[in-house]
Structure 1
Amino acid sequence: MDAVDEPTSPFGTVTAQTNKLGRQYQALLDQSTPHVVYRWIFTGVSLVLFFVRVFVAEGWYIVAYALGIYLLNLFLAFLQPKFDPSNEALDNDMEDGAIGSLPTKQDEEFRPFIRRLPEFKFWHSATRAIIISFFCSWFEVFNVPVFWPVLVMYWIMLFVLTMRKQIQHMIKYRYVPFTIGKARYNKNSN
Protein backbone atom coordinates (compact mmCIF):
# COMPACT_ATOMS: atom_id res chain seq x y z
CA MET A 1 0.00 0.00 0.00
CA ASP A 2 1.11 3.52 -0.73
CA ALA A 3 1.42 5.91 2.18
CA VAL A 4 -0.18 8.79 0.33
CA ASP A 5 -2.03 11.43 2.35
CA GLU A 6 -5.47 11.46 0.80
CA PRO A 7 -8.31 13.26 2.52
CA THR A 8 -11.08 10.88 3.52
CA SER A 9 -13.98 13.19 2.62
CA PRO A 10 -14.75 15.87 0.02
CA PHE A 11 -14.68 18.46 2.81
CA GLY A 12 -11.15 17.39 3.66
CA THR A 13 -10.12 18.02 0.05
CA VAL A 14 -11.72 21.46 0.06
CA THR A 15 -10.08 22.33 3.40
CA ALA A 16 -6.68 21.18 2.16
CA GLN A 17 -6.99 23.28 -1.01
CA THR A 18 -8.16 26.40 0.83
CA ASN A 19 -5.31 26.02 3.31
CA LYS A 20 -2.85 25.71 0.42
CA LEU A 21 -4.30 28.81 -1.30
CA GLY A 22 -4.20 30.69 2.01
CA ARG A 23 -0.51 29.88 2.49
CA GLN A 24 0.29 30.95 -1.08
CA TYR A 25 -1.64 34.21 -0.62
CA GLN A 26 0.16 34.92 2.66
CA ALA A 27 3.54 34.20 1.02
CA LEU A 28 2.67 36.70 -1.74
CA LEU A 29 1.72 39.30 0.87
CA ASP A 30 4.94 38.67 2.77
CA GLN A 31 6.98 39.17 -0.40
CA SER A 32 5.19 42.45 -1.17
CA THR A 33 5.77 43.97 2.29
CA PRO A 34 9.02 45.86 1.55
CA HIS A 35 7.78 47.25 -1.78
CA VAL A 36 5.67 50.12 -0.41
CA VAL A 37 5.68 52.34 -3.50
CA TYR A 38 4.84 49.53 -5.90
CA ARG A 39 2.01 48.31 -3.65
CA TRP A 40 0.44 51.79 -3.55
CA ILE A 41 0.90 52.24 -7.31
CA PHE A 42 -1.00 48.98 -7.83
CA THR A 43 -3.75 50.20 -5.50
CA GLY A 44 -3.96 53.57 -7.27
CA VAL A 45 -4.17 51.92 -10.70
CA SER A 46 -6.87 49.58 -9.39
CA LEU A 47 -8.85 52.55 -8.06
CA VAL A 48 -8.54 54.40 -11.37
CA LEU A 49 -9.69 51.30 -13.27
CA PHE A 50 -12.69 51.01 -10.96
CA PHE A 51 -13.65 54.66 -11.47
CA VAL A 52 -13.21 54.34 -15.23
CA ARG A 53 -15.50 51.29 -15.10
CA VAL A 54 -18.14 53.27 -13.15
CA PHE A 55 -17.81 56.28 -15.46
CA VAL A 56 -18.02 54.27 -18.70
CA ALA A 57 -20.85 52.01 -17.49
CA GLU A 58 -22.73 54.98 -16.00
CA GLY A 59 -23.87 53.01 -12.99
CA TRP A 60 -22.86 51.33 -9.75
CA TYR A 61 -22.74 54.66 -7.93
CA ILE A 62 -23.82 53.04 -4.66
CA VAL A 63 -20.86 50.67 -4.87
CA ALA A 64 -18.53 53.61 -5.52
CA TYR A 65 -20.07 55.55 -2.61
CA ALA A 66 -19.73 52.58 -0.24
CA LEU A 67 -16.10 52.20 -1.32
CA GLY A 68 -15.49 55.91 -0.71
CA ILE A 69 -16.96 55.71 2.80
CA TYR A 70 -14.91 52.61 3.58
CA LEU A 71 -11.68 54.17 2.30
CA LEU A 72 -12.38 57.33 4.33
CA ASN A 73 -12.88 55.20 7.42
CA LEU A 74 -9.59 53.39 6.78
CA PHE A 75 -7.77 56.69 6.21
CA LEU A 76 -9.06 58.11 9.49
CA ALA A 77 -7.93 55.00 11.36
CA PHE A 78 -4.53 55.39 9.65
CA LEU A 79 -4.23 58.99 10.91
CA GLN A 80 -5.27 58.29 14.49
CA PRO A 81 -2.90 57.22 17.25
CA LYS A 82 -3.26 53.73 18.67
CA PHE A 83 -3.64 55.14 22.15
CA ASP A 84 -6.04 58.08 21.90
CA PRO A 85 -4.72 60.98 24.00
CA SER A 86 -8.23 62.33 24.59
CA ASN A 87 -9.23 59.10 26.34
CA GLU A 88 -5.97 59.06 28.26
CA ALA A 89 -6.47 62.69 29.26
CA LEU A 90 -9.80 61.69 30.82
CA ASP A 91 -8.14 58.74 32.55
CA ASN A 92 -5.32 60.96 33.80
CA ASP A 93 -7.81 63.41 35.29
CA MET A 94 -9.09 60.55 37.43
CA GLU A 95 -5.62 59.25 38.29
CA ASP A 96 -2.70 61.05 39.85
CA GLY A 97 -0.05 60.12 37.24
CA ALA A 98 0.41 61.18 33.63
CA ILE A 99 1.02 57.71 32.20
CA GLY A 100 0.33 57.31 28.48
CA SER A 101 -0.07 60.94 27.48
CA LEU A 102 1.81 62.63 24.68
CA PRO A 103 4.62 64.93 25.84
CA THR A 104 3.58 68.54 26.14
CA LYS A 105 6.73 69.96 27.74
CA GLN A 106 10.38 69.69 26.89
CA ASP A 107 11.29 67.65 29.97
CA GLU A 108 8.67 64.94 29.31
CA GLU A 109 9.56 61.61 27.75
CA PHE A 110 9.30 61.28 23.97
CA ARG A 111 7.02 58.52 22.72
CA PRO A 112 6.85 57.80 18.99
CA PHE A 113 3.59 57.96 17.08
CA ILE A 114 1.98 54.53 16.77
CA ARG A 115 -0.90 54.30 14.33
CA ARG A 116 -4.23 52.69 15.11
CA LEU A 117 -4.14 51.11 11.64
CA PRO A 118 -0.64 50.25 10.35
CA GLU A 119 0.29 51.15 6.77
CA PHE A 120 0.37 47.55 5.52
CA LYS A 121 -3.08 46.73 6.92
CA PHE A 122 -4.37 50.00 5.48
CA TRP A 123 -3.00 49.10 2.06
CA HIS A 124 -4.25 45.52 2.23
CA SER A 125 -7.79 46.49 3.30
CA ALA A 126 -8.01 49.30 0.74
CA THR A 127 -6.77 47.12 -2.13
CA ARG A 128 -9.08 44.28 -1.19
CA ALA A 129 -12.06 46.67 -1.01
CA ILE A 130 -11.24 48.19 -4.42
CA ILE A 131 -10.96 44.76 -6.04
CA ILE A 132 -14.24 43.63 -4.47
CA SER A 133 -15.92 46.84 -5.66
CA PHE A 134 -14.58 46.32 -9.17
CA PHE A 135 -15.92 42.77 -9.09
CA CYS A 136 -19.34 43.99 -7.87
CA SER A 137 -19.50 46.50 -10.72
CA TRP A 138 -19.98 43.65 -13.19
CA PHE A 139 -23.25 42.44 -11.63
CA GLU A 140 -26.50 44.23 -12.34
CA VAL A 141 -27.91 43.46 -8.89
CA PHE A 142 -25.53 46.06 -7.41
CA ASN A 143 -26.54 48.73 -9.93
CA VAL A 144 -29.07 50.58 -7.77
CA PRO A 145 -30.45 53.68 -9.55
CA VAL A 146 -29.55 56.81 -7.57
CA PHE A 147 -28.94 60.47 -8.32
CA TRP A 148 -25.16 60.41 -8.10
CA PRO A 149 -24.48 64.16 -7.60
CA VAL A 150 -26.18 63.93 -4.20
CA LEU A 151 -23.87 61.08 -3.21
CA VAL A 152 -20.81 63.01 -4.35
CA MET A 153 -21.83 66.14 -2.43
CA TYR A 154 -22.67 64.11 0.68
CA TRP A 155 -19.29 62.32 0.52
CA ILE A 156 -17.42 65.63 0.10
CA MET A 157 -19.26 67.14 3.09
CA LEU A 158 -18.53 64.02 5.15
CA PHE A 159 -14.86 64.14 4.16
CA VAL A 160 -14.49 67.84 5.02
CA LEU A 161 -16.23 67.52 8.37
CA THR A 162 -14.37 64.42 9.50
CA MET A 163 -10.99 65.74 8.36
CA ARG A 164 -11.66 69.05 10.11
CA LYS A 165 -12.43 67.17 13.31
CA GLN A 166 -9.32 65.00 12.90
CA ILE A 167 -7.05 68.00 12.25
CA GLN A 168 -8.46 69.76 15.32
CA HIS A 169 -7.71 66.62 17.35
CA MET A 170 -4.15 66.55 15.97
CA ILE A 171 -3.63 70.21 16.88
CA LYS A 172 -5.15 69.87 20.34
CA TYR A 173 -3.02 66.86 21.32
CA ARG A 174 0.06 67.93 19.33
CA TYR A 175 0.81 64.92 17.21
CA VAL A 176 1.73 64.56 13.56
CA PRO A 177 0.99 61.19 11.95
CA PHE A 178 3.57 61.62 9.19
CA THR A 179 7.35 61.59 9.20
CA ILE A 180 9.31 62.79 6.23
CA GLY A 181 12.55 60.83 6.26
CA LYS A 182 15.27 60.81 8.88
CA ALA A 183 16.18 64.02 10.70
CA ARG A 184 19.45 65.51 9.49
CA TYR A 185 21.62 67.77 11.57
CA ASN A 186 24.35 70.23 10.64
CA LYS A 187 27.94 69.46 11.55
CA ASN A 188 28.17 72.75 13.43
CA SER A 189 25.10 72.21 15.63
CA ASN A 190 25.70 70.98 19.17
Structure 2
Amino acid sequence: MESLGGGDGSMNDSPVAQKLHQFWRIYQYYLDKTTPHAVPRWAGTLLLALIYAIRVYFVQGFYIITYALGIYILNLLIGFLSPLVDPELESSSDGAVLPTKGSDEFKPFIRRLPEFKFWHSITKAFCTAFVMTFFSVFDVPVFWPILLVYWVVLFTLTMKRQIAHMVKYRYIPFSLGKQKYGGKKGSASSSGSRAD
Protein backbone atom coordinates (compact mmCIF):
# COMPACT_ATOMS: atom_id res chain seq x y z
CA MET A 1 0.00 0.00 0.00
CA GLU A 2 1.28 3.47 -0.86
CA SER A 3 1.93 6.09 1.78
CA LEU A 4 -0.27 9.16 1.64
CA GLY A 5 2.44 11.44 3.03
CA GLY A 6 4.73 11.29 0.00
CA GLY A 7 3.97 14.33 -2.15
CA ASP A 8 1.84 17.34 -1.42
CA GLY A 9 1.64 18.71 2.14
CA SER A 10 -2.05 19.53 1.71
CA MET A 11 -2.87 15.82 1.39
CA ASN A 12 -1.99 15.37 5.08
CA ASP A 13 -4.17 18.26 6.27
CA SER A 14 -7.44 17.31 7.82
CA PRO A 15 -10.64 18.76 6.34
CA VAL A 16 -10.99 20.93 9.46
CA ALA A 17 -7.49 22.38 8.99
CA GLN A 18 -8.22 23.02 5.31
CA LYS A 19 -11.47 24.83 6.17
CA LEU A 20 -9.70 26.91 8.83
CA HIS A 21 -6.99 27.84 6.34
CA GLN A 22 -9.63 28.76 3.75
CA PHE A 23 -11.51 30.85 6.33
CA TRP A 24 -8.26 32.60 7.33
CA ARG A 25 -7.48 33.47 3.71
CA ILE A 26 -10.97 34.94 3.20
CA TYR A 27 -10.67 36.89 6.46
CA GLN A 28 -7.26 38.25 5.47
CA TYR A 29 -8.56 39.17 2.00
CA TYR A 30 -11.39 41.30 3.41
CA LEU A 31 -9.16 42.72 6.12
CA ASP A 32 -6.71 43.87 3.45
CA LYS A 33 -9.53 45.50 1.49
CA THR A 34 -10.45 47.65 4.54
CA THR A 35 -6.95 49.09 4.89
CA PRO A 36 -7.50 52.36 2.97
CA HIS A 37 -10.93 53.01 4.54
CA ALA A 38 -9.99 54.38 7.98
CA VAL A 39 -13.19 56.31 8.76
CA PRO A 40 -15.60 53.42 8.08
CA ARG A 41 -13.33 51.03 10.00
CA TRP A 42 -13.30 53.26 13.07
CA ALA A 43 -17.05 53.90 12.76
CA GLY A 44 -17.62 50.14 12.82
CA THR A 45 -15.40 49.78 15.87
CA LEU A 46 -17.25 52.59 17.67
CA LEU A 47 -20.53 50.85 16.86
CA LEU A 48 -19.12 47.62 18.28
CA ALA A 49 -17.98 49.48 21.42
CA LEU A 50 -21.47 50.95 21.81
CA ILE A 51 -23.07 47.51 21.47
CA TYR A 52 -20.63 46.17 24.07
CA ALA A 53 -21.41 49.05 26.46
CA ILE A 54 -25.16 48.47 26.06
CA ARG A 55 -24.68 44.74 26.72
CA VAL A 56 -22.70 45.40 29.92
CA TYR A 57 -25.22 48.01 31.05
CA PHE A 58 -28.23 45.74 30.65
CA VAL A 59 -26.53 42.66 32.10
CA GLN A 60 -25.22 44.73 35.06
CA GLY A 61 -22.05 42.68 35.27
CA PHE A 62 -18.76 41.74 33.65
CA TYR A 63 -17.04 44.81 35.09
CA ILE A 64 -13.74 43.00 35.48
CA ILE A 65 -13.80 42.20 31.74
CA THR A 66 -14.51 45.84 30.98
CA TYR A 67 -11.67 46.93 33.27
CA ALA A 68 -9.24 44.52 31.55
CA LEU A 69 -10.45 45.82 28.18
CA GLY A 70 -9.77 49.40 29.31
CA ILE A 71 -6.24 48.53 30.47
CA TYR A 72 -5.55 46.76 27.17
CA ILE A 73 -6.81 49.73 25.13
CA LEU A 74 -4.68 52.10 27.24
CA ASN A 75 -1.64 49.93 26.50
CA LEU A 76 -2.44 50.04 22.77
CA LEU A 77 -2.90 53.81 22.92
CA ILE A 78 0.55 54.26 24.42
CA GLY A 79 2.05 52.23 21.56
CA PHE A 80 0.06 54.29 19.05
CA LEU A 81 1.29 57.61 20.49
CA SER A 82 4.93 56.52 20.90
CA PRO A 83 7.61 56.79 18.22
CA LEU A 84 9.12 53.60 16.84
CA VAL A 85 12.55 54.61 18.13
CA ASP A 86 12.49 56.18 21.57
CA PRO A 87 14.32 59.56 21.43
CA GLU A 88 15.79 58.93 24.92
CA LEU A 89 17.53 55.79 23.72
CA GLU A 90 18.41 57.27 20.33
CA SER A 91 20.01 60.41 21.80
CA SER A 92 22.07 58.46 24.31
CA SER A 93 23.41 55.98 21.73
CA ASP A 94 24.52 58.05 18.73
CA GLY A 95 23.70 61.66 19.50
CA ALA A 96 20.79 61.84 17.02
CA VAL A 97 17.51 63.28 18.17
CA LEU A 98 14.26 64.27 16.52
CA PRO A 99 14.64 67.46 14.45
CA THR A 100 13.91 70.60 16.45
CA LYS A 101 14.89 73.32 13.96
CA GLY A 102 14.04 73.97 10.34
CA SER A 103 17.63 73.31 9.32
CA ASP A 104 17.66 69.83 10.90
CA GLU A 105 17.20 66.75 8.76
CA PHE A 106 13.54 65.78 8.33
CA LYS A 107 12.59 62.59 10.16
CA PRO A 108 8.96 61.55 9.78
CA PHE A 109 7.10 60.33 12.83
CA ILE A 110 6.86 56.55 12.66
CA ARG A 111 4.62 54.98 15.28
CA ARG A 112 5.56 52.00 17.39
CA LEU A 113 2.04 50.66 16.71
CA PRO A 114 0.69 51.61 13.26
CA GLU A 115 -2.89 52.85 12.94
CA PHE A 116 -4.18 49.74 11.18
CA LYS A 117 -2.75 47.37 13.80
CA PHE A 118 -4.09 49.69 16.52
CA TRP A 119 -7.58 49.53 15.00
CA HIS A 120 -7.42 45.78 14.41
CA SER A 121 -6.27 45.04 17.96
CA ILE A 122 -9.00 47.22 19.49
CA THR A 123 -11.67 45.63 17.31
CA LYS A 124 -10.53 42.11 18.21
CA ALA A 125 -10.47 43.09 21.89
CA PHE A 126 -14.06 44.36 21.78
CA CYS A 127 -15.20 41.21 19.95
CA THR A 128 -13.45 38.98 22.49
CA ALA A 129 -14.86 40.92 25.44
CA PHE A 130 -18.36 40.79 23.90
CA VAL A 131 -18.18 37.02 23.51
CA MET A 132 -16.93 36.69 27.11
CA THR A 133 -20.07 38.42 28.37
CA PHE A 134 -22.07 35.32 27.40
CA PHE A 135 -20.18 33.12 29.87
CA SER A 136 -21.07 33.55 33.54
CA VAL A 137 -17.67 32.26 34.68
CA PHE A 138 -16.20 35.65 33.66
CA ASP A 139 -18.75 37.62 35.70
CA VAL A 140 -16.63 38.11 38.82
CA PRO A 141 -18.47 40.23 41.39
CA VAL A 142 -16.52 43.45 42.02
CA PHE A 143 -17.35 46.93 43.21
CA TRP A 144 -17.12 48.68 39.84
CA PRO A 145 -16.71 52.31 41.06
CA ILE A 146 -13.32 51.40 42.53
CA LEU A 147 -12.23 49.89 39.21
CA LEU A 148 -13.43 52.97 37.36
CA VAL A 149 -11.57 55.37 39.68
CA TYR A 150 -8.42 53.25 39.49
CA TRP A 151 -8.60 53.19 35.67
CA VAL A 152 -9.13 56.98 35.47
CA VAL A 153 -6.12 57.56 37.75
CA LEU A 154 -4.01 55.15 35.71
CA PHE A 155 -5.10 56.79 32.45
CA THR A 156 -4.35 60.29 33.81
CA LEU A 157 -0.88 59.40 35.08
CA THR A 158 0.02 57.51 31.91
CA MET A 159 -1.15 60.29 29.60
CA LYS A 160 0.62 62.91 31.72
CA ARG A 161 3.87 60.98 31.35
CA GLN A 162 3.30 60.50 27.60
CA ILE A 163 2.54 64.19 27.03
CA ALA A 164 5.63 65.18 29.03
CA HIS A 165 7.67 62.88 26.78
CA MET A 166 6.15 64.52 23.67
CA VAL A 167 6.94 68.00 24.97
CA LYS A 168 10.48 67.08 26.00
CA TYR A 169 11.38 65.59 22.61
CA ARG A 170 9.14 67.92 20.58
CA TYR A 171 7.14 65.48 18.53
CA ILE A 172 3.47 65.34 17.63
CA PRO A 173 2.09 61.87 16.89
CA PHE A 174 -0.61 63.22 14.55
CA SER A 175 -0.40 64.75 11.12
CA LEU A 176 -3.28 66.71 9.72
CA GLY A 177 -2.59 65.81 6.12
CA LYS A 178 -0.08 66.87 3.55
CA GLN A 179 1.37 70.33 4.02
CA LYS A 180 0.29 72.77 1.29
CA TYR A 181 2.37 75.60 -0.01
CA GLY A 182 0.50 78.44 -1.70
CA GLY A 183 3.21 81.11 -1.99
CA LYS A 184 4.51 80.24 -5.45
CA LYS A 185 1.21 80.62 -7.29
CA GLY A 186 0.55 84.15 -6.08
CA SER A 187 4.07 85.39 -6.77
CA ALA A 188 4.14 83.97 -10.31
CA SER A 189 0.88 85.64 -11.30
CA SER A 190 1.91 89.00 -9.84
CA SER A 191 5.33 88.92 -11.51
CA GLY A 192 3.70 88.02 -14.84
CA SER A 193 1.38 91.03 -14.65
CA ARG A 194 4.32 93.37 -13.94
CA ALA A 195 6.20 92.16 -17.01
CA ASP A 196 3.38 93.30 -19.35
TM-score over 0.5 for the alignment? yes
Determine if the alignment matches structure 1 residue 58 to structure 2 residue 60.
yes
TM-score by length of 2: 0.86
Q: Structure 2 CA distance, aligned partners of 1:8 and 1:102? A: 54
Match in the other structure for 1:169: 165
Cα deviation code 1:23-49 (max 9, x no counterpart): 001001011111110000000010111
- How many angstroms does 1:20 deviate by? 0.5
Q: Identity rate of aligned residues, in percent?
A: 49
Bigger Cα displacement from structure 2, 178-187 vs 117-126: 178-187
Alignment match, 1:33: 35
In structure 2, what is the Cα distance between the partners aligned to 1:165 and 1:29? Answer: 34
Displacement of 1:18 in angstroms is 1.1
Tell me how far 1:91 sits from its aligned partner.
Answer: 1.4
Instruction: Check 1:8–1:106 CA distance in 2 against 1; reply closer, same or farther (3 A cut).
Output: closer
Please state if 1:133 is matched with 2:129.
yes
Selected match of 2:23 from 21, 24, 40:
21
CA RMSD after TM alignment: 1.8
Give 1:74's match in structure 2, choosing from 69, 73, 76.
Answer: 76
Match of 1:150 among 146, 151, 167: 146
In the alignment, the residues of structure 2 paired with residue 76 and residue 31 of structure 1 have an alpha-carbon distance, to the nearest angstrom, of: 27
For residue 57 of structure 1, report the CA deviation from its aligned partner: 0.5
Aligned to 1:86: 88
Report what 2:119 is aligned to: 123
Match of 1:114 among 85, 101, 110: 110
Per-residue deviation, 1:189 = 7.5
Give the letter aligned to residue 20 of structure 1: Q
Aligned partners of 2:82, 2:91: CA distance in 1, in Å?
Answer: 15
Unmatched segments (≥5 aa) in structure 1: 93-97
Distance 2:180 2:135 in 1: 53
1:106 to partner: Cα distance? 3.0
Give the TM-score normalised by the residue count of structure 1.
Answer: 0.88
| Equivalent position of 2:194 in the other structure | none
Deviation at 1:8, TM superposition (A): 5.7
Residue number in structure 2 paired with 1:95: none
Q: In 1, Cα distance between the equivalents of 2:142 and 2:187?
A: 61
Deviation string, structure 1 residues 68-111 (Cα, Å, up to 9, x no partner):
0001110110000001101112213xxxxx34x21123322010
